[in-house]
Structure 1
Amino acid sequence: MPGDSEDPNADVQYHLEVGPEDVADTVLLPGNPERLEKIVDFWDDHEMRAHHREYRTATGSYEGTPISVTSTGIGSPSAAIAVEELARVGVETFIRVGSCGALQPEMDVGDLVITTGGVRQEGTSDEYVREDYPAAADYEVVSALVAAAERLGYDYHTGITMSADSFYAGQGRPGYEGFEAAGADELVDQLQEANVKNIEMEASAIMTLANVYGLRAGAVCTVYANRETGEFRTEGESRAAETASLATHLLAKMDEAKREAGADRWHPGLSLDLEE
């Protein structure tokens, strides 16, 4: 292979500026760097570890469980960089924490959407695998997110998420001066008929890369808009942050239960005491 312009395997990563000692095994991935402060508010403690470009990283603990957060900026290209570089310093689990537009009429603003799989409408994951490769959430991550939402009493939905590369034309919205992309007028209807739950911009790339590398990933997003009803409000952001933080703690307990039972994967037959 031709020589590289930099060593991608250096201890301190090029974009994130983090090393193995800077992050926990599980990292939450919000897009907006400002969302990081809202996430760490739920933790026992935290310390800022790096800030470079759109990437801000903090590490701390939640109910005694080590946890980290790295903001990714908007879109799958920058999210994929975060997954690549975090994986290189030892991260094993990724949970996207974001906002989304809901597609089904029964989904209210402020509800959570826990992704079980993704429609790969973004182009980043195409750089890694063939287009019919699935973007699947890890079922342990999904289980932990569902358990966390149940424990916290938050309304949630589970299902398929579409990840787009465009906030406007790629999500069926008009562009500048009313521009409409080909097929934009049918996009939302087609997704609704296929029982897709929501649209956002990073989940499918994060899940695809995690599966390719044998790692765990999932996503939880707060509904800001409902594309069926036209309702839009930026509220409930903290619910996704709290749910993902608690899910990280529950995943640690699941991993402990696996070790004690000598099991490779967690399953409902292994106890998980939510009160501890």
Structure 2
Amino acid sequence: MRIAESELIINPDGSIYHLHLKPEDLAKTIITVGDPERVESISKHFDALEVDVHNREFKTHTGTYNGKRISVISTGIGTDNIDIVFNELDALVNIDFEKRTQKDVLTQLTIVRVGTSGAVQPNIPIDSFLISETAIGFDNLLHFYANTSFENKPFSEAFIKHTNWSTKKSAPYVINADQSLLNLFSENDYINGVTATNVGFYGPQGRVLRLPLQDADLNEKLTSFSFEGKKITNLEMETSGIYAMAKLLGHKALSLNAILANRPNGTFSNTPKETVETLIKQTLEILTK
């Protein structure tokens, strides 16, 4: 079935609407970052750079590292942007732009997030690296799509009960990482954890500046919650959306977190740039070995 112009918007130069990428600009292995400035922190390690495109918060570099073609793209902050990025990345490889129809054979992308995060367990060290084995989303992105049988509903139901979750908030959802990528990165001495994705940085993550919170004990509830021996380990703002969209679209995804803050201990990294740089180098080596 032909996809209408209002649904799939293609720019006059043949690029996808927000990302401004053409199908040939994208590699099948993709690293996502939040900050556009972090794109160059990764691509500076490339052997060669062939694509440099920037529109709004979406910046993309495509090049080669150790002979393998890789794209790095900034998503901006939040799962609303993840919805845009993942749908458009998928369209670039799985929709025929001339015919405006889905391709017969699915092209699967490998997508790895390299980001920063704050721990909610006091025993997780600052400057450590954490793999999001599972994501629990407090956003509502997944609820707009059908065919979500991959959700871990017993996990989310136990969390809702434990926290006395307000019905005014979106229902939490739980999704696992791609197992093959999890196995690949678990060879390193990384922490495997359960990452909570929230819809804001301040109130939703329990930070108080001038505004009181609806649930002042939420972070303590996150720390104390356990399901089948798994505890929530860290907070950030994209991972649940990444896992949701990857599962829906048939791609492989993994989220890597540089732990820069420990919320229970009230501490923050003294060397955040160095910590992120180390994670970047390790990620590139693992993806290209």
TM-score range with shorter-chain normalisation? 0.7 to 0.9
Match of 1:265 in 2: none
CA-CA distance at 1:43 after TM superposition: 2.5
In the alignment, is residue 51 of structure 1 matched against residue 54 of structure 2?
A: yes
Q: How does 1:96-175 map to 2 (within 5 A)?
A: 96-129=113-146, 132=153, 134-147=174-187, 150=188, 156-175=190-209
Structure-2 change in CA distance of 1:65 and 1:173 (3 Å): same
Match of 1:190 in 2: 221
Hey, what's the Cα distance between the residues in 1 that align with 2:194 and 2:186? 15
- Secondary structure at the aligned position of 1:34 is classed as helix
Contact 1:116 / 1:160 at 8 angstroms: preserved in 2? yes
Contact 2:25 / 2:51 at 8 angstroms: preserved in 1? no
Pick from 236, 244, 248 the counterpart of residue 208 of structure 1: 244
CA-CA distance at 1:55 after TM superposition: 0.4
Contact 2:118 / 2:263 at 8 angstroms: preserved in 1? yes
Match of 1:255 in 2: none
Contact 2:26 / 2:71 at 8 angstroms: preserved in 1? yes
Hey, what's the Cα distance between the residues in 2 that align with 1:100 and 1:201? 9
Match of 1:181 in 2: 213
Normalization by structure 1: what TM-score? 0.80
CA-CA distance at 1:4 after TM superposition: 5.1
Pick from 256, 260, 268 the counterpart of residue 232 of structure 1: 268
Pick from 30, 34, 39 the counterpart of residue 36 of structure 1: 39
- Give the alignment's Cα RMSD to 1 decimal: 2.2
Match of 2:23 in 1: 20
In the alignment, is residue 245 of structure 1 matched against residue 277 of structure 2?
A: no
Greater alpha carbon shift after TM alignment, 62-71 vs 125-134: 125-134
Contact 1:67 / 1:248 at 8 angstroms: preserved in 2? no
Whichever residue aligns with residue 27 of structure 2, its letter is A
Hey, what's the Cα distance between the residues in 2 that align with 1:97 and 1:208? 17
Contact 1:9 / 1:88 at 8 angstroms: preserved in 2? no
- Secondary structure at the aligned position of 2:193 is classed as strand
In the alignment, is residue 93 of structure 1 matched against residue 110 of structure 2?
A: yes
Hey, what's the Cα distance between the residues in 2 that align with 1:26 and 1:3? 29
The one-character-per-residue Cα deviations of 1:32-53 (angstroms, maximum 9, x if unpaired) are: 0011111113332223431100
List gaps (5 residues or longer) in structure 1.
Answer: 251-276
Contact 1:117 / 1:161 at 8 angstroms: preserved in 2? yes
CA-CA distance at 1:92 after TM superposition: 0.9
Normalization by structure 2: what TM-score? 0.77
Pick from 194, 199, 203 the counterpart of residue 235 of structure 2: 199
Structure-2 change in CA distance of 1:30 and 1:146 (3 Å): same
Whichever residue aligns with residue 117 of structure 1, its letter is T
The one-character-per-residue Cα deviations of 1:38-80 (angstroms, maximum 9, x if unpaired) are: 1113332223431100000001112111111000111111122
Hey, what's the Cα distance between the residues in 1 that align with 2:40 and 2:52? 13
